[in-house]
Amino acid sequence: MDEIDRIRHEKKKKMLESLNVEDTPAGNAGTNGKPLKLTDTNFNDSIRSGVVLVDCWAEWCGPCRMLEPTIEELAQDNAGKAVIAKLNVDHNPVKANEYRITGIPTMLLFKNGQLADKIVGFTSKPDIQQRIDRLV
C-alpha cells in the first residue's frame, strides 16, 4: 500500500468511527441498531425487502451533520423493524444520480425495493419516524 492509499484508508476509518456507521452486509442490516453504510454496489440488495430509510448525505454538508444524531437514534429505535442506512452522495454518484438527489440531506424511504417517500432537507425526528411507521 503506498502512502496515499494508507492516508485514505486512515481517513475513511476515522470518518466511519466518527459517524458511528457500520460497514455491515445487507443480510445483517437493522439487527445491530447502527446505520448501514450503503454504496453504489450494495444499494439494490440492501433496499430489496422491508422498510429502508436511506439518508443521502455528504461530509461537507452542515445540515447533514446536524441530522447525524437523529439518524443514529432512528437506527436504534427501529432495529428489527426498519433498516436505517446512509449513502454518501459524493462517494456514490451512480445512485445519487439515479434518484435525482440534487439537495442534501435527502432521505429516501423504500418498501420492498420500491421508493415510497422522499424527504428533502433537515427534518425532525418525529416527522421521520411517522413516515417510517406509515410503511411498517
Is residue 136 scored above 90 in pLDDT?
A: yes
Q: Which of 61, 119, 120, 135 is catalytic?
A: 61
Going by C-alpha positions, the residue among 80, 57, 81, 53 that lies closest to residue 68 is: 57
Residue 9's pLDDT is what?
A: 63
Q: How does pLDDT run across 35-89, given as a tens digit for each residue?
A: 999 999 999 999 999 999 999 999 999 999 999 999 999 999 999 999 999 999 9
Provide the 8-state DSSP code for 89.
T
56 assigned to active site: no
Percent of the chain with pLDDT over 70: 81
Cell of 64: 447533514
Q: Which of 26, 64, 75, 128 is catalytic?
A: 64
The residue with greater pLDDT, 40 or 31, is 40
Domain ranges of the chain: 23-135
Provide the 8-state DSSP code for 22.
B
Residue 3's pLDDT is what?
A: 77
Average pLDDT in the 114-135 region? 97
Question: Taking the model in full, what pTM does it have?
Answer: 0.78
What is the CATH code for 23-135? 3.40.30.10
64 assigned to active site: yes
